[in-house]
Structure 1
Amino acid sequence: MEQTIANRLKELGIQLPQASEPAARYANCVEVNGLLFVSGKGPSGKPKGKIGQTYSTAEGYEFARLAGIEILAVLAEALGSLDRVKRVVKLQGFVNAVPEFEEHHKVLNGCSDLMLDVFGEKGIHARSVFGAVSVREQLPIIIDSIFQIEE
């Protein structure tokens, strides 16, 4: 039996939520020339606070993983099937952190590890991560992403 991404999610114990709606006047995602650009997503439950003050690096990792699950929900809604993902191209994280925080990369690993767990080799991606003075709704992290998709 061929391994599908839906089966892989089940093995990982992940049930995708309904895709969250955009927070303002923009699209959840936009497809251009075989690439799907997903707007910035934060963790479900809308936790508020700064990494390095309100939350630890380990908690930030979990928030990044939850943001990744939100990204997967948007992909599933837009594509009909996550099997249409050919490659995770890039993740870009914005960590709402105190100025002295230095473990942004460890926080974003929560989403990176999720993409590798779900997509295997197709989940290997480029990425960048930044500390942010503030983000919308005081979320601890927001992640935007780019995927190559089957047309």
Structure 2
Amino acid sequence: MRSHGRGLSAAWVARKVVAHDELQAVAGSLWWLQSDPEHGGVRRVMCSERSGEAFAVTPSDLSVGSGLHAYGGGSFAVVEDGVWFVGDDGSLFHQPLGRTPERIVRVRGSEQFGDLAPGPDGGAFAVRGGSAADEIVAVSPAGVVQVLVRSSGFLSCPRLSGGRLAYLE
């Protein structure tokens, strides 16, 4: 590499650096977020099955990520038929494996989604944060959003445990 007396450009670094985040083990496969330098650093959901071969699940024109609670996290959840994820505009998407993602819920105002987890019947649990409150919501594949818990404080990590909803507050 020649620098010609200048520092590294952001574009050059973005093309060389691959970031890996949010590793999950689900049904014998590994899933994670990975930046894609070939597509401007877009973050994509990746999967590696038992064969060890990794492949991109989400498309290269839609970045995955959540800024909920300023640090993000929980940007995707793997369900039986595919994956739920938070798009770069904050919307919730559902993508059956091998198909095109569908925008299920658009955000309003300062809302943000994060902390996604598998929900019942192919749906997802999520934390929906806003300026006044956090909510734990259940979202169906048809786009029905049901508020399960509301708090003026911090909510995170919704999970089903023994048929009951567990979360941090």
Mark the structure with the bigger radius of gyration.
2
Which band: TM-score by shorter chain? under 0.3
Highest RCO, 1 vs 2 (Cα 8 Å, sep ≥ 6):
1
**Higher fraction of strand:** 2
TM-score by length of 1: 0.24
From the two aligned structures, give the one with the greater helix fraction.
1
**TM-score w.r.t. structure 2 length?**
0.23
